[in-house]
Amino acid sequence: IKELRDAQRFASADAAKVLVTPAQVPSIICSAGDTWVMGHASMTSRYPALAQAEQIGKSGELVLWRVPARRCP
């Protein structure tokens, strides 16, 4: 995560296209096509869509999920 934040400082225009704040996650998951999310394993309690998403990989407590395109209620 630290590396992503560092990258955002050096390429802010490009980073804004792919790096989002926690507040943006629900709307992106509910409106985008397939979405890739990387974060702490505990994020599933904050974002129910991640609990139902496919876990692609894990390194320690860092998880990569693929959230299929869908509309949320």
pLDDT recorded at residue 49: 79
4-55: per-residue pLDDT in tens?
Answer: 666 666 666 766 667 777 777 777 777 767 888 888 999 889 888 788 889 9
pTM: 0.66
**20 forms bridges with which residues in the sheet?**
none
- Please tell me the distance from the alpha carbon of residue 47 to that of residue 2, in angstroms, as a whole number: 21
The number of beta carbons lying within 10 Å of the beta carbon of residue 19 is 14
Confidence band (pLDDT; 50, 70, 90) for 71? low
Per-residue confidence (pLDDT) for residue 14, from 0 to 100: 67
pLDDT (tens digit per residue) in 59-69: 999 999 998 87
